[in-house]
Amino acid sequence: MSAVAGSTAAPGAAGQMDFLQVSNLKMYFPVTEGILIQRKVAEVKAVDDISFAMHKGETLGLVGESGCGKTTTGRCILQLEKVTSGQILYDGKDVSKLNKADLSQYRQKVQVIFQDPFSSLNPRMKIGEILAEPMRVHGIIPDARKRDERVMELLNICGLSTRFADRYPHEMSGGQRQRVGIARALSVNPEFIVCDEAVSALDVSIQAQVINLLEDLRDEFGLTYLFISHDLSVVRHICHRVAVMYLGNMVELASCDELFDNPIHPYTRALLDAVPIPDPTVEAARQHKIVTGEIPSPMNPPPGCVFHPRCELAVDSCKQAAPEFREIKPGHWVACTEV
Amino acid sequence: MTELLKIQGLKTQFFTSAGTVKAVDGVTYDVEEGETVAVVGESGCGKSVTALSIMRLVAEPAGRVVDGNIMFQGTDLLQLPEEEMRKVRGNNIAMVFQEPMTSLNPVLSIGLQLTETVQQHLGVDDATARARAVELLGLVGMSDAERRLDQYPHHLSGGMRQRVMIAMALSCEPKLIIADEPTTALDVTIQAQILELMKNLTRDLGVAMIIITHNLGVVARYADRVNVMYAGKIIESGTAEDIYHNPKHPYTLALLKSVPRLDQPRGAKLDPVDGQPPDLARLDEGCSFRPRCRYADAKCGMSFPPTEHVDGIHYSACFKKDELDSPMKEAS
């Protein structure tokens, strides 16, 4: 499933196939001072004008370092944040304008898997209850006995023994809990899942099991994933297309192999360069160009292109105006004037 | 090169209500002067406890080193009186911890934390210690060192804090630095900066380093020698080439096959290790990897396989080491 030429409004899939369309999304968090009378003193520009589109069945990777806005983007899509401006269209409908009934339906179609399998499960609920609750809330299976059968089925799908239904989260390992998180997301038959660092907390051998599970489920149920991760190796493995974010901006978007084989934006290049490859021969042959400096504060981002203070290609004009996010070749978008 | 540290038959156990946890169960390895040795393994395999045992920082009475010896420049650290051990810590052997957020004292200035170690071990006056602190911050690539000394940890980013930790570790010119997951909490571009810094400093200053990590990529990039740990034991050791290109233990092989690689196109299925790591309080006589191993047979359940020589400095503890599949395919 390769990237189709982008529409002008949102880089991504072609017009009618747009399943999720994010346009000019901005999410600014206010920084306030004072206890009784709160004054806004600044803004954290967590997400600053990004646009992209996804089609059904696609896995889009959203990568970047801490504070680049990838999680906030996911939370905006999930309607867990009230966006500052911009539009999120899901199946052609603006998700911020849904009425209560439609929103409830939206929450059923769009699910999330969180990073931390330790804090995202209620420690006082048994696994069976955790899995049954969303089905009860959404009225999917009103009959309690049938619900229990479905719980067993979900445990099976996610590679867990059915005896876990009577256990509590603390009795399980990290990998098993993450499988419960996945089973919970699946319980309401979603179409779209935001995987927010879903495998980052797991050990390599367990991580590989969970990655394979996510891939199998995608194929079996035709799921669409927004796969948020800082681990580029995992993203390369699982995603069809990848978007790179830096300080609230999207700097590059391309099909997976294209992005990893022909990275264009200087930040993407630096990021790929920084990831060590588990092979001493390959490592010895690689040129390491290590990007200097630290990520600036999103409260006070640099003017112009946000990457210019760390960029080796930066020229004077980079400090003036933010570069346009342009399609440099079919399906490959980049925000840089110097490439 | 001469031998700096020699760990022999180290056993560290924790005594819990669930039974005796054999966190480190007969670990033997050595570190030569100026060399970078990696200890790699997954959570709970005993790699951090090994490091804590070297520093004699295992929390008693819950945990205790029950057997083995740790020879550092000819002295057994385990036999030293606490008084003497204090002189070794931070002075001859320094440690860099994973969490730069929690391993600095939040209520003390950077300068105070840096000079404390110097004054404690070298007995110099305030001005000399401060000058040394400025020099150290410069060494780890922090600009504006004078001003930094009066700042507090919360003023600094994660990467900067880790630089301060490295400066502290270097302050008394140690012979050995133990870095326990030094970059795990950091972003990837910052991780590359810190690892490069540590590599250059250890090379320039001739400091040996034990780097403890779960990241196979980091190991491939930086280590001279690799020890792979599983369930409290070193199951394979050798040069990075040995381990990555010619693994002789099913666990090492499985680890390499289960890690996604940046240089491989998408689509290939990962080949994960089935099952879970064992409960260290309930290990039996046999090989601890046996339940997850594709090559295991009845013999593996009888006794733990002895560590056998493969070639050069390559050792493996597996009865089936000569029957394994060819290692991971070469990167195309």
What are B286-324's pLDDT values in tens digits? 999 999 999 999 999 999 999 999 999 999 999 999 988
Looking at per-residue pLDDT, the higher value among A25 and B16 belongs to A25
What are A111-133's pLDDT values in tens digits? 999 887 778 899 999 999 999 99
Residue B329 is predicted with a pLDDT of 47
What are A243-290's pLDDT values in tens digits? 999 999 999 999 999 999 999 999 999 999 999 999 998 988 888 788
Nearest to A230 by CA among B185, B70, B202: B185
CA dihedral of residues B158, B161, B163, B168 (deg, nearest 10): -150
B189 three-class SS: helix
- Interface list for B 189-228 with A (CB within 8 A): 189-193, 196, 214-221
For residues B174-183, give the mean pLDDT.
92
Residue B267 is predicted with a pLDDT of 67
Task: Assess contact for B184 and B158: CB atoms under 8 A.
Answer: no
H-run or E-run covering B147: helix B145-148
Q: Which residues of chain B neighbour A118 with C-beta distances below 8 Å?
A: none
For residues B85-95, give the mean pLDDT.
92
Mean pLDDT (chain B, rounded) = 90
Q: How far is CA B188 from CA A64, A229, B28, B155, in A?
A: 9, 12, 32, 21
- How many CB atoms sit inside 10 A of residue B254's CB? 22
Q: Which residues of chain A neighbour B144 with C-beta distances below 8 Å?
A: none
Tell whether the model's pLDDT for residue A205 goes beyond 70.
yes
Residue B268 is predicted with a pLDDT of 72
The answer to whether the CB atoms of B274 and A292 lie below 8 A apart is: no
Q: Which domains does chain A have, with CATH numbers?
A: 15-33+42-334 (3.40.50.300)
User: What is this model's ipTM?
Assistant: 0.81
For residue A16, name the pLDDT band (cuts at 50, 70, 90): very low
Tell whether the model's pLDDT for residue A137 goes beyond 60.
yes
Tell whether the model's pLDDT for residue A4 goes beyond 80.
no
Task: Assess contact for A302 and A294: CB atoms under 8 A.
Answer: no
Query: Given the structure tokens 């997954």, which residue do they identify?
Result: B42
Nearest to B44 by CA among B65, B13, B23: B23
The answer to whether the CB atoms of B217 and A209 lie below 8 A apart is: no
Q: Which residues of chain B neighbour A205 with C-beta distances below 8 Å?
A: 42, 254-255, 258, 272-273, 277
Task: Assess contact for A230 and A64: CB atoms under 8 A.
Answer: yes
For residue A38, name the pLDDT band (cuts at 50, 70, 90): confident
Residue A233 is predicted with a pLDDT of 92
The answer to whether the CB atoms of B196 and A288 lie below 8 A apart is: yes
Looking at per-residue pLDDT, the higher value among A176 and A6 belongs to A176
- The residue type found at A181 is G
For residue A17, name the pLDDT band (cuts at 50, 70, 90): low
- Interface list for B 43-62 with A (CB within 8 A): 43
Residue B100 is predicted with a pLDDT of 72
The answer to whether the CB atoms of A280 and B241 lie below 8 A apart is: yes
For residues B267-284, give the mean pLDDT.
83
Residue A12 is predicted with a pLDDT of 53
B236 φ, ψ (degrees, to nearest 5): -155, 145
What are A71-101's pLDDT values in tens digits? 999 999 999 999 999 999 999 999 999 999 9
DSSP per residue, B246-274 = S--SHHHHHHHHHS--TTS-TTPPP-PPP
The answer to whether the CB atoms of B192 and A288 lie below 8 A apart is: yes
Residue A63 is predicted with a pLDDT of 95
Residue B23 is predicted with a pLDDT of 93
Distance from CA of B315 to the nearest CA of A (A): 18
For residues B241-258, give the mean pLDDT.
92
Task: Assess contact for B129 and B119: CB atoms under 8 A.
Answer: yes
Distance from CA of B305 to the nearest CA of A (A): 22
Tell whether the model's pLDDT for residue A9 goes beyond 70.
no
